[in-house]
Copies of this chain bind each other. A is one copy, B any other.
Amino acid sequence: MQSYTEENYLKIIYHLSVISNPVQTNAIAEKIQTKAASVTDMLKKLSDKELVDYVKYQGVTLTEKGKLAAINIVRKHRLWEVFLVEKLNFKWDEVHDVAEELEHIKSTLLIERLDEFLEFPKVDPHGDPIPDQHGNFAAISFVKLNRLKVNDKGTITGVSEHSSPFLKHLEKLGLTLGKKIEVSEIIDFDGSVELSIDGNKINISREVAKHILISK
């Protein structure tokens, strides 16, 4: 069994390893809001427990065991987010911190019953896929909104940025999951994108477009 802190490290390493593998000490330190020296200490510990493969100065990779543990935490986090939004009327920008705590509750029965109660959701309120008990994800295909061409259509199915200000901004613009959009113009000057949504036209910056995931 892992401690609360160990679980957080595993989860962060998991998320970072999607971007680049092996994961660097400093990258972990930044995400976990701690110092590189503390990360080194923890990596040794996780390595002793065979949750990560760690080579001094070279970074870490999750072992199969570590990866399973990490995915399990991600599963719990995302199920709790669904619960908060669907059952307790939280907004999608309010769920992260609470789910961050709830994800560490240790009870297999609890999480399986919660999954059932929520009717086995496949994605969380940000469109991220929820792995099943065995750690398998349903394949979800999407493109970033900034990659679309003029006249391309699609549905908003996710976001790649989870900060509250960003999510509130999208909410205000009506850019929520499930909404259908069409690209009406791409402004050369700044790369910003003009969209049709709900019959209106709105302009969003390239920076915002980058973090909106679209499926056909």
Task: Write the residues of chain A forming the contact surface with B, with a CB cutoff of 8 angstroms.
Answer: 84, 87-90, 94, 97-98, 101-102, 105-107, 109-110, 113-114, 116-117
Contact of A88 among B88, B102, B105, B110 (CB under 8 A): B110
Q: Show 21 A/B contacts (Cβ-Cβ < 8 Å), sorted by A.
A: A84-B110, A87-B117, A88-B110, A88-B113, A88-B114, A88-B116, A88-B117, A89-B113, A90-B109, A90-B113, A94-B109, A97-B107, A98-B105, A98-B107, A98-B109, A98-B110, A101-B105, A101-B106, A101-B107, A102-B102, A102-B105
Residues of B within 8 A of A88 (CB): 110, 113-114, 116-117
* Complex Cα spacing A109 to B88, Å: 9
- Chain B residue nearest to A84 in the complex (CB): B110
Residues of B within 8 A of A98 (CB): 105, 107, 109-110
Residues of B within 8 A of A114 (CB): 88
- Chain B residue nearest to A88 in the complex (CB): B113
A125 to chain B, nearest CB (A): 15
A109 to chain B, nearest CB (A): 7
* Complex Cα spacing A109 to B90, Å: 9
Residues of B within 8 A of A109 (CB): 90, 94, 98
A2 to chain B, nearest CB (A): 15
* Complex Cα spacing A116 to B84, Å: 13
Residues of B within 8 A of A116 (CB): 88
* Complex Cα spacing A204 to B198, Å: 67
* Complex Cα spacing A116 to B97, Å: 20
A191 to chain B, nearest CB (A): 38
Residues of B within 8 A of A87 (CB): 117
A8 to chain B, nearest CB (A): 15
Residues of B within 8 A of A97 (CB): 107
